Amino acid sequence: MQADAYRFDGSRPCDLSRLPTDAGSEKGKKEEYAAKTAANLRRMEALQDALYADGREGLIILLQALDAAGKDGTIKHVMGGLNPQGVTVYNFKQPTKTELQHDYLWRVGQCLPPRGGIAIFNRSYYEDVLVVQLHQLHKTYRMADRVLTDSDEAFFEKRYRQIRHFEEYLYENSFRVLKIFLHLSKEEQKKRFLDRIDTPEKNWKFTPDDLRERARFDEYNRLYSRVISATATEHAPWFALPADQKWYTRYLASEVVVEALQKCAPSYPALDEKTRAEMQRARIRLMAEDESR
Ligand code: ATP
Ligand code: MG
């Protein structure tokens, strides 16, 4: 699979500064990729149908990225191929006062899908090791001294471990976690911000805070490299997908979602003898309706 080049499963560290943000040699092939994406969306639909009927595994797909990398667009165009019955999208915003009184995974528990279902996380508990670490927000939380006296490094190393264990726990309970990072260049982010400022219909997507975060663009990418390296595992891999061309990102995202669904290996439930016999009797009765008309 083409997206394998961007897969991190714990077997190698991730260094985003060495990974492409653009489509490279594929740049001129927009039409071709749009057709391939459409084919993947059809496969996704069929696989999801079987996943839902099967009801044995659940899938969590989470998206992380810097602003304007295309999280919303990816959800709309790629996950739009899924049947809304069986999928829920959750947006992880700044935690509320109540959420902050709890451990950071508390709010996640309420967003987990049932087996047979899919949950899409637009941002996720990874914010708790990203924005929280970069802005040192944990220092403002009310927590015991024994927790807050940890060095920053120790505090977040523990969180990486907790996240790995949480995802392993999900895997061992018949859920899979697929993690997608949209890797955008600083130049492309500038273009998209300008477009949001200049296009009235897109104004609402821009906030002055976005520039504050942009000022720390490289710092964020270094931290993402660290976080991806520390939390990528075989069963809960990360994909750091180039995000400068939306059509290319969408194709790669459709590939990794199809693969994740295939790994769930859904199959339609097989009927037992008794139910099959009942179905046959129902069939005979339905056919008899025509004859008695
Ligand atoms: P867009 O990319 O289109 O701007 P968005 O995902 O940034 O969309 P916003 O409503 O602009 O959506 O931002 C949500 C904000 O909530 C982000 O800045 C994110 O960092 C922040 N956030 C999410 N989880 C946490 C957390 N646990 N602690 C602190 N901030 C968080
Ligand atoms: Mg934002």
Per-residue pLDDT of 95-119, as tens digits, reads 999 999 999 999 999 999 999 999 9
Query: In the chain, which stretches have pLDDT less than 50?
Result: none
Q: How far is the CA of 290 from the centre of ligand 2 (A)?
A: 60
- pLDDT for the residue 265: 83
Q: What pLDDT is stored for residue 269 in this prediction?
A: 84
Q: What is the pLDDT of residue 115?
A: 97
What pLDDT does 189 receive? Answer: 98
131: exposed, middle or buried (Cβ count in 10 Å: 0-12, 13-18, 19+):
middle
* Residue 245, helix vs strand vs coil: coil
Position 55 scores a pLDDT of 95
What is residue 11's predicted lDDT score, i.e. its pLDDT?
97
The predicted structure's pLDDT at residue 52 = 96
The residues spanned by each domain of the chain are: 2-291
pLDDT value of position 266: 83
Predicted confidence at residue 267, as pLDDT, reads 86
Of the candidates 81, 79, 88, the one whose C-alpha atom is nearest the C-alpha of residue 58 is: 88
Cα–Cα distance for residue pair 36/38, rounded to 1 Å:
5
Predicted local distance difference test score (pLDDT) of residue 292: 75
132 lines ligand 1 (CB under 6 A): yes
Rounded to the nearest angstrom, the gap between the alpha carbon of residue 46 and the centroid of all alpha carbons in its chain is 20
Distance CA(210)–CA(189), nearest Å, equals 10
Q: Is the CB of 161 under 6 A from ligand 1?
A: no
**Which of 85, 87, 88, 91 has its CA nearest to residue 107?**
91
pLDDT for 10: 97
Neighbours of 31 (CB within 10 A): 9
Residue of the CA atom closest to atom 2 of ligand 1: 67
List the one residue out of 196, 178, 192, 190 whose CA is nearest residue 252. Answer: 178
Instruction: Write down the pLDDT at residue 246.
Output: 97
Q: Which atom of ligand 1 is nearest to the CA of 213?
A: 18
Q: Helices (DSSP H) in 55-185: which residue ranges? A: 71-77, 97-100, 106-109, 131-134, 145-148, 152-172
Give me the CATH topology for the region 2-291.
Rossmann fold (3.40.50)
* Binding site membership of 98 for ligand 1 (Cβ less than 6 Å): no
| pLDDT at residue 290 in the model | 79
- Spatial strand order of the sheet with 58-65 comes to 7-8, 238-242, 175-183, 58-65, 118-122, 87-91
**Closest listed residue to residue 90, CA positions, set 110, 114, 106:** 110
